């Protein structure tokens, strides 16, 4: 098949089993349309179908298909019928001899044939080009523009399909979602040679099909860096939330060879927030994705290297080096490390929830799923800012939003401005002292059992959407035995490591630990993973910047 041309050029495909005729057809087409269209030729139906599948996966648009009627194994009508399943918008032309005109006329009704041409058509200026001009004009009028984005085909109520969409959205990778039940979803599956039993299917803009991809494979195929370019850095930042991004910006801008490692997507919990309205400098508010997306671009502009979909499994001290080990066994070393691993939403412990996660039950993915639950009733569990922000965002398009809060009121953990907004939003209701007792449904959430904490009264409600924002668990289990942590897993630093503020046991430097330094010299902590942190975006960013200042101090004295 011919080499790919510029994405703006649509395709005219011709198939004829006679090599001489095939070349002649392609020559005539290129002479007239070669500058504006890519001409692809094939000499049998199966080869032409393979070409159409490849074009489909790459997102190329096929404007016209010309097929010879008398081809062995698969005649032109049979070929065009199968081609319709792959590129239904392409105009279809059958090339026939005088003896085949009746078959061609019948094909107009059978496969909605657009035109048939009698061979030979010399001169093409009279018998070929006017027909093609009309067909191309009709195709352009239907506005079939190419979509150079990643495509995802899956089940709407599939946990892994939901995870893939969340991964792409949070990493700011443009994608288009197709349900397996949609015609276009079926066409993409057929083009990739899949029958729908293994999903999701991800098709990259280059046309590479990925079947049930893991995050690392997906990241590598959509252009996200997953492998460090060097073996040793001045600073490795673990975690891509506000604290990690702040550290990466300040570290790289001040000349440190900086590597940021993120296990899923930059932004952390803040990146999932629909609206942050109390962050300095944004009087009209800013979404978490916008704020952290800008921070990521800023860090990259200063020269920070950013790895995505890399799980850190261990931290070792090797002399003056601090070695970070990944879950696949590889490692990278640095003079210093900043732990900005953040926290994750705690899982709601109730029967049925684990089985339905991703199938109506979601943890912190209101932004991604919001379009799917428009004009429906949704439930949000949680009483802190993240839950309030999600409720406000969902209320824009949902019929009703019910906020389920275990506590007496929202005032204990939610900002005053959010409480006021919720009270002023008519389709948001708040049910305090209420918990989820169980979730019900076979392949998707169908009902919720709610219980009032004080009265013990149970209630069964219809529910297809549940978003959970409860508490925070630090992502520090992999540091067990390496740095000091409190009983809840949060990392201790500076004077907080001991009751009297003295250096921790085994501390070797003659100086005391710096304020954000952990029990391992040269290893610092910033953001929500630190014990007694403020759990606010602004404080996390500030701690990231402060940790870099302390890294400089550490490097100067080492």
User: What tens digit of pLDDT does each residue of 439-467 get?
Assistant: 999 889 999 999 999 999 999 999 999 99
Beta partners for 524? 338, 517
User: What tens digit of pLDDT does each residue of 130-183 get?
Assistant: 989 989 988 888 755 555 689 999 998 888 998 999 899 888 888 889 999 999
- Please name which of 246, 263, 262 lies closest in space to residue 254, comparing C-alpha atoms: 246
Contacts of 152 (CB under 8 A, 6+ apart): 161, 164, 165, 168, 175, 176, 177, 178, 200, 201, 202, 203
- pLDDT for residue 116 is more than 70: yes
**Overall number of domains in the chain:** 4
CATH classification at residue 400: 3.50.50.60
249 and 215 share one domain:
no
Question: What are 325's two structure tokens?
Answer: 């080990």
Does residue 4 belong to any structural domain of this protein?
A: no
Position 99 confidence tier, pLDDT thresholds 50, 70, 90: low
450 and 403 share one domain:
yes
Alpha helices in 111-232 (DSSP H): 124-127, 129-141, 159-170, 183-191, 215-221
465 and 481 share one domain:
no
89 and 183 share one domain:
no
Neighbours of 329 (CB within 10 A): 7
186 and 270 share one domain:
no
Does residue 519 belong to any structural domain of this protein?
A: yes
What b/e readout covers 501-513, taking b as 16+ CB neighbours within 10 angstroms? eebeeebeeeeeb
Does residue 171 belong to any structural domain of this protein?
A: yes
466 and 478 share one domain:
no
Collect contacts of 423-426 with beta carbons under 8 A, ≥24 apart: 425/392, 425/395
State the pLDDT at residue 231.
95
What b/e readout covers 38-65, taking b as 16+ CB neighbours within 10 angstroms? bbbbbbbbeebbebbbebbbbbbbbbbb
Does residue 206 belong to any structural domain of this protein?
A: yes
14 and 137 share one domain:
yes
The overall average pLDDT reported for the chain is: 90
Q: Which of 184, 199, 221 is the last residue of a domain?
A: 221
CATH classification at residue 195: 3.40.30.10
3-state secondary structure of 169: helix
92 and 27 share one domain:
yes
Domain membership of residue 167 as a residue range: 150-221
465 and 477 share one domain:
no
Neighbours of 432 (CB within 10 A): 16
Residue 118 DSSP label: E
- pLDDT for residue 556 is more than 80: yes
Q: Phi/psi class of residue 326: alpha, beta or left (left: φ > 0; alpha: ψ in -120 to 50)?
A: beta
DSSP E strands in 165-287: the ranges are: 175-179, 201-203, 209-211, 232-238, 258-262
Position 272 confidence tier, pLDDT thresholds 50, 70, 90: confident
State the pLDDT at residue 104.
65
Does residue 41 belong to any structural domain of this protein?
A: yes
432 and 479 share one domain:
no
478 and 531 share one domain:
yes
* Alpha carbons 110 and 84: distance in angstroms, whole number: 12
- pLDDT for residue 106 is more than 80: no
3-state secondary structure of 494: helix
Neighbours of 464 (CB within 10 A): 19
Give the lowest-confidence range in 40-49, 289-298, 323-332, 521-530. Answer: 289-298
HSE-up (13 A, CA, CB side) for residue 59: 20
Q: Which of 433, 450, 470 is the last residue of a domain?
A: 470
User: What tens digit of pLDDT does each residue of 491-512 get?
Assistant: 999 999 998 888 999 999 999 9
* Alpha carbons 145 and 16: distance in angstroms, whole number: 28
State the pLDDT at residue 3.
38
Q: Which of 197, 221, 245 is the last residue of a domain?
A: 221
Which tops the pLDDT comparison, 272 or 159? 159
Does residue 226 belong to any structural domain of this protein?
A: no
CATH classification at residue 69: 3.40.50.2300
State the pLDDT at residue 363.
87
Does residue 321 belong to any structural domain of this protein?
A: yes
522 and 493 share one domain:
yes
Does residue 100 belong to any structural domain of this protein?
A: yes
Q: What is the mean pLDDT of residues 247-260?
A: 97
Position 42 confidence tier, pLDDT thresholds 50, 70, 90: very high
């Amino acid at each position: 098949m011919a080499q790919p041309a510029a994405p703006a050029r649509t395709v005219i495909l011709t198939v004829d089993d006679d090599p001489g005729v095939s070349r002649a057809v392609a020559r005539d087409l290129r002479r007239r349309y070669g500058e504006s269209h890519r001409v692809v030729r094939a000499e049998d139906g199966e080869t032409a179908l393979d070409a159409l599948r490849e074009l489909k996966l790459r997102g190329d648009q096929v404007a016209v298909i010309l097929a010879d009627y008398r081809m062995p194994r698969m005649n032109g009508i049979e070929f065009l019928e199968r081609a319709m399943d792959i590129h239904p918008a392409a105009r279809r032309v059958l090339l026939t001899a005088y003896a085949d005109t009746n078959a061609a006329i019948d094909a107009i009704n059978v496969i909605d044939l657009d035109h048939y041409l009698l061979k030979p058509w010399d001169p093409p200026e009279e018998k070929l080009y006017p027909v093609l001009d009309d067909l191309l004009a009709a195709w352009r009028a239907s506005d079939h523009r190419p979509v150079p984005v990643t495509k995802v085909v899956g089940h709407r109520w599939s946990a892994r399909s939901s995870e893939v969409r969340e991964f792409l959205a949070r990493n700011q990778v443009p994608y288009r979602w197709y349900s397996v039940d949609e015609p276009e979803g079926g066409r993409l599956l057929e083009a990739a040679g899949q029958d729908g039993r293994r999903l999701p299917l991800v098709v990259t803009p280059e046309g590479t099909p990925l079947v049930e991809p893991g995050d690392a494979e997906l990241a590598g195929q959509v252009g996200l860096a997953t492998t460090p370019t060097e073996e040793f850095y001045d600073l490795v930042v673990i975690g891509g939330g506000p604290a990690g991004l702040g550290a990466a910006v300040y570290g790289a801008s001040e000349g440190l060879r900086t590597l940021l490692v993120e296990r899923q997507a930059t932004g952390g919990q803040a990146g999932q927030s629909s609206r942050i309205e109390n962050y300095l400098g944004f009087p009209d508010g800013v979404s978490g994705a916008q704020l952290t997306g800008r921070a990521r671009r800023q860090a990259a502009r200063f020269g920070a290297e950013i790895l995505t979909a890399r799980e850190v499994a261990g931290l070792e001290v090797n002399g003056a080096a601090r070695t970070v080990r990944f879950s696949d066994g590889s490692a990278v070393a640095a003079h210093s490390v900043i732990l900005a691993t953040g926290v994750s939403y705690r899982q709601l412990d109730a029967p049925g929830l684990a089985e339905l996660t991703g199938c109506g039950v979601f943890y912190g993915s209101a932004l991604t799923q919001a379009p799917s639950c428009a004009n429906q009733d949704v439930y949000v569990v949680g009483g802190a800012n993240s839950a309030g922000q999600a409720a406000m965002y969902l209320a824009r398009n949902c019929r009703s939003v019910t906020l389920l809060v275990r506590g007496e009121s929202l005032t204990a953990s939610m900002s005053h401005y959010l409480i006021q907004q919720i009270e002023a939003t008519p389709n948001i209701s708040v049910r305090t002292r209420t918990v989820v007792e169980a979730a019900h449904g076979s392949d998707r959430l169908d009902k919720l059992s709610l219980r009032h904490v004080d009265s013990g009264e149970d209630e069964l409600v219809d529910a297809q959407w549940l978003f959970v924002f409860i508490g925070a668990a630090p992502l520090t289990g992999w540091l067990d035995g390496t740095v000091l942590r409190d009983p809840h897993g949060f990392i201790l630093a500076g004077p907080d490591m001991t009751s009297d503020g003295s250096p921790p046991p085994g501390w070797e430097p003659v100086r005391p630990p710096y304020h954000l330094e952990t029990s391992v010299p040269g290893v610092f902590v910033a953001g929500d993973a630190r014990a007694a942190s403020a759990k606010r975006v602004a404080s996390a960013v500030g701690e990231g910047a402060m940790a870099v200042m302390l890294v400089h101090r550490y490097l100067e004295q080492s």
